[in-house]
Structure 1
Amino acid sequence: MQATQNKKTTQNSLLEKMFKLSEHNTNVRTEVIAGITTFMTMAYILAVNSNMLSQAGMDAGAVFVATALSAAVSTLVMAFLSNYPIALAPGMGLNAFFAYTVVLQMGYSWQMALLGVFIEGILFIILTITNLREQIINCIPNVLKNAVTAGVGLFIAAIGMSNAGLISMQTGTLSLGSMHDPLVVLTVAGLVIAAILVCRNVKGALLISILLTSAIGMVTGIVALPTQVFSLNIPSLKPTFMQAFSVPMNQIFSLDMVIVVFTFLFMDLFDTVGFLVGIASKGNLIDEEGKIPKAKQAMLADAIGTTVGAMLGTSTVTCYMESSAGISEGGKTGLTAFTVAILFILSLFLAPLFIAIPSQATGAALIVVGVMMAGCFKEIDFEDYTNAIPAFLTFILMPLTNSVADGIIFGVVSYTLLKLVTNKKEEVNISLIVLTIIFICRFVFLK
């Protein structure tokens, strides 16, 4: 008994030293629950990414393994370099661009797309080390940072509603899902459970709601029970491992490769900036000057993850907005991220169990997270239209265009132009002007 207690004390002491838990007013239990919650809300990427990239001709099993490993590696880097409770994995949107645009629409091979992702990752490492990516975050005014946080919250809620079937797109029209559909009813039940638990300040509210909603769905037969929980038969990584370097030399040094790399680079840069700002604001990681103290380390994690992921065989790795779910559960340090990374490794053996968690359960939790992040609306000065219009364009375009990057672009451009034409030049810095010019050129020269 005493030996067990001593062992537990030693473990806690080690975790305290590594993640400075008491300094951040947290503990091991809270951080682990936060990590489990974050993982539960983003575990869908294991199934979705392998399915999506397989449509581009890649081996689904190999992509599954590459997804889990790249998420684990990048999230571990985040945990130890920045000590932030932020998880990473191959990004939604970026994987769709990889499969449907670069491969299926533009006609490039998936190997060439992987090489484009690898080159993008190397460039991101260079840009991060030289502090350029950090400067981009720091030059964004506070009003737009608040708008980004609120916009990411709306985006998260929209994804949760869409994935769970609460809203649907039919013949180009957004509509409410059918209340006669058992899956939609399950989503509503999950939302009610999550809301009640959060309102009652129950510890682990979102995780409990995910588990309860999943259990209700399985018991009632609305969602399928997992046929298997544990498996040692991990798919082979060989079909995708290092395939990025099988691209012919004449394709590497071509205009086509430049276009692919630049597009990946542009999309990922501002998706990451948006998610990082939104998550950092939610987790009180922004200092008095409006800066993220360890932004450089956080962005280095996603750059390393992207590079490693491309070598393993998956699309671009980025910060996950679902990290806000864990932060809402009290996650404050890298121990939350460390927990997520360990769960991604374990998912290689427990894939059937994690994949069985229905999107109706995680979707309900994401809607509540969106509500929490929408609190940043109150920080926006809507009386000054040079602030209100850019802020509105920022947060409204994110869910409507399904792109954090587009929201940031329109926000920055409109903010800069409105401030300049209304003689408020002192509120615009040179970095913001340069960004605006780049954004305008992007729309002029790229489709």
Structure 2
Amino acid sequence: MMEKYFEYRKHKTNFKTEVIAGVTTFLTMAYIMFLNPFILSGEFAGTEKGFFDFGAVFTATILATSVACFIMAFHGRTWPIGLAPGMGINAFVAYGVVAGMGYTPQAALGAVLVAGVIFLAISLTPLRAWLINSIPKSLKLGIGAGIGLFLAIIGLEIMGVVGDHPVTLVTLGDIKNPLVLLGCLAFVFMIVLEKMKIRGNIIIGILLFSIIAWATGLAKFNGVVGSIPPMTYLFEFDLKAALTAGMASIVFTLLFIDFFDTAGTLTSVANVAGKVDKKGKVQDINKAMLSDSVGTVAGAVMGTTTVTSYVESGAGVKAGGRTGMTSLVIGVLFLACLFFSPLATSLPKEIDGAALLYVAILFVRNITDIEWNDIAESGPAVVAMITMPLTYSISNGIALAFISYALIQIFTGKFGKTSPAIWVIAVFSVVSFYVA
């Protein structure tokens, strides 16, 4: 049945290869089941600010990931993609929308749902291709790097490497603390494993150094297996709050990040999988985009932030994955982890922070492709990169980057050669500052 549905022979693969590919991708992205609830629950900052419930997000993360992978498997069919709540977006929702702006988790989930529905609508129209081609490459790369730096400052704070200061705002943390040192070693260990090309370096690093912390008495071990935490946020999204004027910039930010992150990830994986034709067109990308957007809607309904395609899927493709069977295996493996909530609550925050810092590097490393020789292109990209961590907001970084890019185009006489999408987003960004 699997042979007939996924057409192994046509794609030069087989059941065994697809299973191995699925396991490979699962190992590279399994960290999200621990890191996503950790970030959304605000564990390191304290829950008094109204963050999400850890257990509810843990369950929602796994179920949303599984459902999205199943959708990709049976609708995408030719795409060996793993999907899960996206890094960067979850931090933006937790620290920017909920803690920073004071919105409730339900209102934030409403915004995720609205953005997902818009993404779904765009995926069904020619607007998708127009938008992808309208945003300059340097801006896309700068925004991606900015998200990485935003994750980096959060990761360093969680680890305890960076602390607050009344004058300089930030300063060096207590690096003599054994747990802080352990987190730093975990970060180095993850890089070493990556250098050695060992799959699952993040999850291996998290578990190994957590075991060291438990064994030495530096952290409390709550067990491995337990009951499944209830889904507190199932169908609890607040659409009324999400559709207010103040939420417009938040919805736009969620949509922008998800849309271009998905497009970039799918293009990257398509190149590895040989799904790009001689004209540079990606085969069956419509099905993949549609599956991704439906996954986001499903995630919001279940109680987690934007679900998106993971670039870690490239590991499974390199292992031979060529069909949706790979996605199916990923989904099944995540479902099997539903009972691991005690283990998730046992992980020291310093180790989680180390994993977040490592993920930040993956976002930042693409800045080499920015057009540095043209300051009109690189300037706005750098604005996005530095304002996201310094203003503690992804949406501020995107807005300032587009406003500066638009102004540069006007004053350099390139108004007529610039895509209308740039002007629309720039004007919207200016308005959002006044509405906020």
TM-score normalised over the length of structure 1: 0.75
Stretch moving more, 169-178 or 10-19: 10-19
Question: In structure 1, what residue type is equivalent to 2:37?
Answer: L
Aligned counterpart, 2:91: 92
Deviation at 1:343, TM superposition (A): 4.2
Segments of 5+ residues of structure 2 without an aligned counterpart are: none
Deviation at 1:36, TM superposition (A): 2.1
Residues 27 and 199 of structure 2 are in contact (CA less than 8 Å); yes or no, is this contact kept in structure 1?
A: no
Partners of 1:273 and 1:337 in 2: CA distance: 20
Q: Of 237, 245, 251, which residue of structure 2 is paired with 1:259? A: 245
Partners of 2:428 and 2:35 in 1: CA distance: 35
Aligned counterpart, 2:216: 220
Aligned counterpart, 1:422: 412
Q: Map 1:207-286 to 2 at 5 A.
A: 207-225=203-221, 227-231=222-226, 233-237=227-231, 240-243=233-236, 257-259=243-245, 262-273=248-259, 275-276=261-262, 279=265, 283=269
Cα deviation 1:234-279 (Å, max 9, x = unaligned): 3444x6544559x9xxxx5xx9843366354223112323543564
Query: Tell me, what secondary structure is at the counterpart of 1:224?
Result: coil
Question: In structure 1, what residue type is equivalent to 2:307?
Answer: T
Stretch moving more, 271-280 or 141-150: 271-280
Aligned counterpart, 1:76: 70
1:353 paired to 2:343: yes
1:141 paired to 2:136: yes
Question: In structure 1, what residue type is equivalent to 2:29?
Answer: T
1:17 paired to 2:8: yes
Deviation at 1:423, TM superposition (A): 2.5
Q: Describe the shift of the 1:177–1:16 C-alpha distance in structure 2 as closer, same or farther (beyond 3 A).
A: farther
Query: Tell me, what secondary structure is at the counterpart of 1:348?
Result: coil
Aligned counterpart, 2:184: 188
Segments of 5+ residues of structure 1 without an aligned counterpart are: 1-9
Deviation at 1:186, TM superposition (A): 0.6
Question: In structure 1, what residue type is equivalent to 2:344?
Answer: F
Partners of 2:280 and 2:405 in 1: CA distance: 17
Partners of 1:125 and 1:96 in 2: CA distance: 26
Aligned counterpart, 2:308: 319
Q: Describe the shift of the 1:115–1:153 C-alpha distance in structure 2 as closer, same or farther (beyond 3 A).
A: closer
Residues 120 and 261 of structure 1 are in contact (CA less than 8 Å); yes or no, is this contact kept in structure 2?
A: no
Q: Describe the shift of the 1:317–1:159 C-alpha distance in structure 2 as closer, same or farther (beyond 3 A).
A: same
Residues 32 and 335 of structure 1 are in contact (CA less than 8 Å); yes or no, is this contact kept in structure 2?
A: no
Aligned counterpart, 1:7: none
Q: Describe the shift of the 1:242–1:364 C-alpha distance in structure 2 as closer, same or farther (beyond 3 A).
A: closer
Aligned counterpart, 1:379: 369
Q: Describe the shift of the 1:424–1:178 C-alpha distance in structure 2 as closer, same or farther (beyond 3 A).
A: same
Q: Describe the shift of the 1:261–1:68 C-alpha distance in structure 2 as closer, same or farther (beyond 3 A).
A: farther
Residues 394 and 407 of structure 1 are in contact (CA less than 8 Å); yes or no, is this contact kept in structure 2?
A: yes
Q: Map 1:17-96 to 2 at 5 A.
A: 17=8, 20=11, 22=13, 28-49=19-40, 56=50, 62=56, 64-82=58-76, 83=79, 85-89=81-85, 91-96=90-95
Tell me the number of residue pairs that the alignment of Structure 1 and Structure 2 aligns.
418
Query: Tell me, what secondary structure is at the counterpart of 2:164?
Result: strand
Stretch moving more, 401-410 or 294-303: 294-303
Partners of 1:63 and 1:367 in 2: CA distance: 21
Residues 325 and 366 of structure 1 are in contact (CA less than 8 Å); yes or no, is this contact kept in structure 2?
A: no
Percent identical among aligned pairs is 27
Cα deviation 1:290-319 (Å, max 9, x = unaligned): 88766654554454334334444x254233
Query: Tell me, what secondary structure is at the counterpart of 1:125?
Result: helix
Cα deviation 1:215-247 (Å, max 9, x = unaligned): 32222222222x33222x33444x6544559x9
Deviation at 1:180, TM superposition (A): 0.9
What do you get for the CA RMSD once the two structures are aligned? 4.2
